[in-house]
């Protein structure tokens, strides 16, 4: 593997690859080189962590979540994809429970974290109800696993978006609220340091359950990427969710993740 290379991605955007880590031009070449220099000088510390967070495009407003994290902390990653979020957590000594529905990605994650005692891998999607559902991926995910990040449980999203879709697989779905209650009993402090929810449209029903059942109190921080674009009434769904957060005082939930 080349240590450093410059190339273009599918959209023609120039990227720098350093040890396989992608750094987009939007960071600027000077900033990219500086980040790589700091990571080389500090591979087990802040230098490498900053580079990993830039690669994951974590907003600066949320980077303190990892600076403040350490050994003994527990995080949950829904969905894990290639494990880049988990890598940031592991870098600072935390343990991670991963949920990923895509079978190809799960196989890679199991190989990647083989022997890692701080990682629990669940081959499943998460939602408000347990069961089995169909996972829909764009056609290009067949030959480029990176596009599996946009796989969704929302059956009519791809047809409404005017794009071809394939049925990737039928997947198990775990009720995340029940999982959290059974694995992390409440204590003097929230047992879960950070919960990341990026589940391509299934977040609205799930978050309503987490809020209504007070499950959010098990977490110090919850960060969410919302996908209101996937629904004809997405704006209303988002407005309802924001109102529920305010009404229940769930101020540990942030809806501006990535």
**Do 87 and 154 belong together in one domain?**
yes
Same domain flag for 200 and 106: yes
Residue 148, pLDDT score: 78
Q: Are residues 82 and 148 in the same domain?
A: yes
**pLDDT, position 244:** 98
Sites in the chain below the pLDDT cut of 50: 1, 9-13, 24-27
Under 8 Å CB-to-CB from 188, ≥6 apart: which residues?
Answer: none
Residue-wise pLDDT for 73-126, tens only, equals 999 999 999 999 999 999 999 999 999 999 989 999 999 999 999 999 999 999
- Here the contacts of 247-251 (C-beta below 8 Å, separation 24 or greater) are 248/211, 248/212, 248/214, 248/216, 250/211, 250/216, 250/222
The answer on 73 and 42 residing in a single domain is: no
- Do 147 and 228 lie in one domain? The reply is yes
CATH number assigned to the domain comprising residue 221: 3.40.50
**Last residue of a domain, which of 55, 70, 97?**
55
Residue-number span of the structural domain to which 6 is assigned? 1-55
Total tally of structural domains belonging to the chain: 2
Edge-to-edge strands of the sheet including 131-138?
Answer: 125-127, 165-175, 131-138
Q: In this structure, are 31 and 87 located in the same domain?
A: no
Contact 114, 95 (CB under 8 A): no
pLDDT score at 166: 77
């Amino acid at each position: 593997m080349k240590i450093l290379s410059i190339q273009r991605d599918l959209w023609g955007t120039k990227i720098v690859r350093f040890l396989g880590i992608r750094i987009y031009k939007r960071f600027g070449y000077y900033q990219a080189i500086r980040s790589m220099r700091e990571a080389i000088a500090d591979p087990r510390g802040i230098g490498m962590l900053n580079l990993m967070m830039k690669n994951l495009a974590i907003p600066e407003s949320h980077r303190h979540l990892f600076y403040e994290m350490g050994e003994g902390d527990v995080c949950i990653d829904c969905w894990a994809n290639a494990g880049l979020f988990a890598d940031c957590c592991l870098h600072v000594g935390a343990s991670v429970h991963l949920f990923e529905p895509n079978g190809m990605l799960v196989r890679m994650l199991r190989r990647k974290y083989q022997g890692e005692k701080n990682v629990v891998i669940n081959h499943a999607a998460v939602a408000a109800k347990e069961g089995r559902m169909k996972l829909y991926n764009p056609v290009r995910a067949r030959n480029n696993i990176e596009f599996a990040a946009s796989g969704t449980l929302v059956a009519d999203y791809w047809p409404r978006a005017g794009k071809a879709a394939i049925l990737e697989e039928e997947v198990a779905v775990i009720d995340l609220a029940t999982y959290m209650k059974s694995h992390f009993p409440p204590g003097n402090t929230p047992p879960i340091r950070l919960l990341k929810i990026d589940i391509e449209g299934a977040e609205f029903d799930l978050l309503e359950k987490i809020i209504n059942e007070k499950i959010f109190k098990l977490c110090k921080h919850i960060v969410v990427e919302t996908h209101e674009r996937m629904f004809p009434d997405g704006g209303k769904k988002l407005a309802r969710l924001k109102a529920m957060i305010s009404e229940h005082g769930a101020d540990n939930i942030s809806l501006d993740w990535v």
